[in-house]
Chain A
Amino acid sequence: MNASGRHLIITLALDLPGELAQYHLAKLLISSLLRTRFSGEILAIHTAPNPLFLVARAGVREVRISLPRNAPRGSEFITFAQSQKHEIGHHIDVSRYDRIMFIDCDSVALRSVDHLFNGEWDLAVVHDTGSRIQGMYWGGYLTDEERATLTCAGVNSGTFVLRADRFHELLETWREIERVPVAGCLREQSAFNRLVLDWKGPTHVIDSSEVALPFVTNAHYRDCITAALVHAAGGGTPEDRARFLYGLFAATYLCDSQMFLFNIMEM
């Protein structure tokens, strides 16, 4: 399968009423994907009252959803929002695509991600390099034996690519796993790790030079800026993460040798 296939990138931005932090992050991500000339389509699912772009962008579809009335507030909202990743299937007609990539909205593309769709696999995932899958952010659904024997890194649930015809299967399995309560943080990510361990079909680990997780892996800034995608997971508040990603976005897309924008703003 190659980059000439029909591909879709999905992101999800859920904000509590009156907040727009995830909406801004999603806009930054999509703007970056468009600037890298992503060849596929993009779907943004968000809760904001306004569209991401006043001037609609070709290849970008926005789906506005409402939060359920009983959606939790405060820190529990984060857990709720993360678990909504596997509730988005009905917005997607998978028959139109070869491969689908999910990207957490606290990410930014610094160069083309087209090549991340290539390869003979059904599911491609990103490791939290340096982690151990037994950790509290990944290992909630491990068996006792797996806790004792596994030596692999944890998988980050914020970026993955899979064959479109297995997309619904993945979401359903993910949802089923997460239904069982477990201790630990990031239950949806633990459930995703369980899913990946049990996945029937060829899997692939995307190289850490392609998807950087600077706040999880302590990657050097220099390595960060050569990645195709930077995911700011673990980078503090949404504002902290947005500020960091905004800096990368500006450095990548708004900086030229004449410092045009800078000199306009700072005459």
Chain B
Amino acid sequence: MPRHLAYTIALEYPPGSMAHWTMAKMLVLSLLRTRFDGDIVVFKTCSEPLFLVPRAGVREVIIDAGDSGSLHFWDHAQAWKFRVHEQLNVNGYDKVIFLDADCLALRDIGPLLDGNWDLRAYAEPDSWVGERIFNCFVSKKEAKLTKAPGINGGLLAVRAAIYHEVMRTWERINFGPSPRPKEFTDQAALTRLILDTTLRTHLFTRKEVGMPLSHDPRAQDYSRCALIHAAGAKSFDDKLRFMFGLYLSTFFFDRQAMLLHILDA
């Protein structure tokens, strides 16, 4: 059986916040509850452990995200998606998947990592590289000549053997020159990477990955996905509530409505 590695990052802002810590905890638990049989690493700035009772196969790594300098904090934080590659030993793994902390596994994501490919990314439905949230590494002229989709920066699976190389490329594009002002930089850099790559790329399908708060708002659609990404919420509170509701309805719901009866006896 091939072994896989999943990782996420939880960088907090402002200091003292535990918002991403909470989401990362929910994501990790969802992976465990769906019987993901790989290893999981969480890079985080909060020193509080995710679990008072450590979970097998889960490693927590505290990082110092440093000063964001002239960058907006979130641009600075997003870059850690690829910067942490130096801290990951991927020897012995078949595939490595990065997941934004606002993802939630509803089913085992193992099957998403099977197959003979180098890269799996998520193209946002009906998107175009020329849109503002994807385009800072694509000139106006180039964008006009293509119908290529924008790639969501919250999800990337890579064959472990080329993981470091791909992350270095992502980082190089991210911090390299751009034909337009930089914004949504990590996502735009990944879009550029996928546009240029000659690696065997296999995009995630909408049946595999749902974005309920943006592209897949119907419960009958997103509830069948293996993985959901809660990008697109109006507020952080909305996002957390949505994730919590989905988490409870997926993992704490049974035909006897046990938890409901305990809580509301």
Binding site for B on A (CB under 8 A): 20-21, 24, 27-28, 31, 53-55, 214-215, 218-222, 225, 235-236, 239-240, 242-244, 246-252, 254-255, 257, 259, 262, 265-267
Partner of B242, one of A53, A218, A221: A221
A222 touches B220 (CB 8 A): no
Number of interface residues of B (CB under 8 A): 37
Given contacts A252-B241, A255-B241, A267-B51, contact A214 B219 (CB under 8 A): yes
A244 touches B264 (CB 8 A): no
The 27 listed contacts between A and B (C-beta, < 8 Å) are: A20-B256, A24-B260, A27-B257, A31-B264, A53-B265, A55-B265, A215-B218, A219-B217, A220-B217, A221-B217, A222-B238, A225-B238, A235-B220, A242-B257, A243-B223, A243-B250, A243-B253, A246-B253, A247-B246, A250-B244, A250-B248, A251-B248, A255-B240, A259-B240, A262-B22, A262-B25, A262-B26
Give min CB distance, A7 to chain B, whole Å.
22
Partner of B219, one of A24, A235, A242: A235
Per-position binary interface string of chain B over residues 231-265, scored 1 when its CB falls under 8 Å from any chain A CB and 0 otherwise: 00010011011101111111011011100110111
Q: How many interface contacts (CB-CB < 8 Å) are there between A and B? A: 105
Identify whether the interface residues of B are mostly helix, strand, loop, or mixed: helix
CA distance A118 to B257 in the complex (A): 34
B264 touches A247 (CB 8 A): no
B53 is an interface residue with CB less than 8 A from chain A: yes
- Max chain A CB contacts within 10 Å: which of B51, B223, B253? B253
Q: Please indicate the chain A residues that have their CB under 8 angstroms from the CB of B246 in the complex.
A: 247, 251
B167 is an interface residue with CB less than 8 A from chain A: no
B241 touches A251 (CB 8 A): yes
A239 touches B255 (CB 8 A): yes
B52 is an interface residue with CB less than 8 A from chain A: yes
Partner of A251, one of B217, B245, B252: B245
B150 is an interface residue with CB less than 8 A from chain A: no
Per-position binary interface string of chain B over residues 10-40, scored 1 when its CB falls under 8 Å from any chain A CB and 0 otherwise: 0000000000001001100100000000000
A265 touches B240 (CB 8 A): no
A250 touches B245 (CB 8 A): yes
CA distance A257 to B237 in the complex (A): 8
Q: Please indicate the chain A residues that have their CB under 8 angstroms from the CB of B242 in the complex.
A: 221, 225, 251
Give min CB distance, A242 to chain B, whole Å.
7
Q: Please indicate the chain B residues that have their CB under 8 angstroms from the CB of A218 in the complex.
A: 217-218
A222 touches B234 (CB 8 A): yes
CA distance A73 to B218 in the complex (A): 31
B257 touches A28 (CB 8 A): yes
Q: Please indicate the chain A residues that have their CB under 8 angstroms from the CB of B252 in the complex.
A: 250, 265
Give min CB distance, A68 to chain B, whole Å.
26
Q: Please indicate the chain B residues that have their CB under 8 angstroms from the CB of A235 in the complex.
A: 219-220
Give min CB distance, A24 to chain B, whole Å.
4
CA distance A17 to B263 in the complex (A): 25
Q: Please indicate the chain A residues that have their CB under 8 angstroms from the CB of B154 in the complex.
A: none
A53-B264, A225-B238, A255-B244 given; 11 more Cβ-contact pairs under 8 Å: A21-B255, A24-B257, A28-B257, A214-B218, A222-B213, A222-B217, A222-B234, A235-B219, A243-B223, A255-B241, A266-B25
Give min CB distance, B85 to chain A, whole Å.
29
Chain A residue with the shortest CB-CB distance to B244:
A255
CA distance A16 to B250 in the complex (A): 26
